[in-house]
Amino acid sequence: MFTGIIECVGELIARESHGGDVRLGIFSKQLDWSDVRLGDSIAVNGVCLTATSVNGTTFTADVMVQTLSLTSLSQIAVGSPVNLELAAQLNARMGGHMVQGHVDGVATVVGLTPGDKWAQFDITVPEKLAKYIVNQGSICLDGVSLTVGQINDANNVVTVWLIPETLDRTNLSTKQPGDLINVEVDVLAKYVERLLAKGDK
């Protein structure tokens, strides 16, 4: 489990194809490597991956074809900045919201509009995910825990507001119109839908 509070921005330094799967190599000087072990879960742009090797300031992770089909990792290029978060610890304060690292789909960036104190970030989400998103609710974009500012049901455009701290500590400031971004909706909404659908059967 994760919190959506990004620890640092790393860099994709290697990408190797193995059949339909891909092995990613990621570098970071800022990650607390003293707490990283082989087999640990690390969220990369919001995708929960398992460290298959750890070497100094780098780690590798294998991404299966199913994960590639559901996330933006299918298109990420060497040199790209990636949001990194280690798995949450139960004895630590939880600052964001409950994030599983199980991406539900990808959205398309509409634009990032700077303001005096905030930046407006607009994305278009898939129709199948729009029903789980509500104003003032939680959403996870590329691993970042954010609050929904508004959602336009006519075109499925979701707006969030980014403070300078978020822009400085994540890769969201690099997003351009047309870029893909990973979306994880609030898991509680999906549980409620399931309960209502199954009822007391």
Beta bridge partners of 60: 25, 53
Give Cα 63 distance to the centre of its chain: 15
Tokens read off for 136:
């003032």
Whether 114 and 58 share a structural domain: no
Residue 112 located in a structural domain: yes
* pTM for the model: 0.93
The DSSP secondary structure of 4-39, one letter per residue, reads S---EEEEEEEEEEETTEEEEEEE-SSS-GGG--TT
Rounded Cα–Cα distance for residues 44 and 83 (Å): 6
Q: In 3D, which of 43, 31, 36 has the Cα closest to residue 1?
A: 43
Asked, for residue 98, whether it belongs to a domain, the answer is: no
Report the alpha-carbon distance of residue 41 to residue 2 in Å, rounded. Answer: 9
Residues 115 and 185 in one domain: yes
77 found inside a domain: yes
Give 110's strand partners.
Answer: none
Same-domain pairing of 113 and 154:
yes
Is residue 94, in this structure, part of any structural domain at all? no
Q: Is 36 exposed, middle or buried, given 0-12, 13-18 or 19+ CB atoms closer than 10 A?
A: middle
Tokens representing 114 are 């700077």
Residue where a domain stops, chosen among 18, 51, 86: 86
- How many domains are contained in the chain? 2
Q: Which residue is listed with tokens 């104003």?
A: 135
| Nearest alpha-carbon partner for 82 in 13, 17, 18, 146 | 13
Q: Has residue 170 got a pLDDT over 70?
A: yes
pLDDT at res. 200: 62
Question: Under a CB-based contact definition with an 8 Å cutoff, are residues 170 and 144 in contact?
Answer: yes
How do 21-27 and 41-44 pair as beta strands? Answer: unpaired
Residue 91, pLDDT > 70, answer: no
Q: Is residue 41 part of a domain?
A: yes
Say if 95 falls within a structural domain: no
- 77 and 111 inside one domain: no
Residues 113 and 181 in one domain: yes
Assigned domain for 3 exists: no
Q: What is the CATH number for 192?
A: 2.40.30.20
Which tens digit of pLDDT belongs to each residue from 97-129? 778 889 999 999 999 999 888 999 999 999 999
For the stretch 176-194, pLDDT in tens is: 999 999 999 988 888 888 8
Residue 92: the pLDDT is 65
Full domain range(s) for residue 14: 8-86
Q: Are residues 115 and 189 in the same domain?
A: yes
Same domain, 115 and 178: yes
27 and 109 share one domain = no
Q: Minimal CA–CA distance to 181: which of 46, 13, 20?
A: 46
Whether residue 112 sits in one domain with residue 180: yes
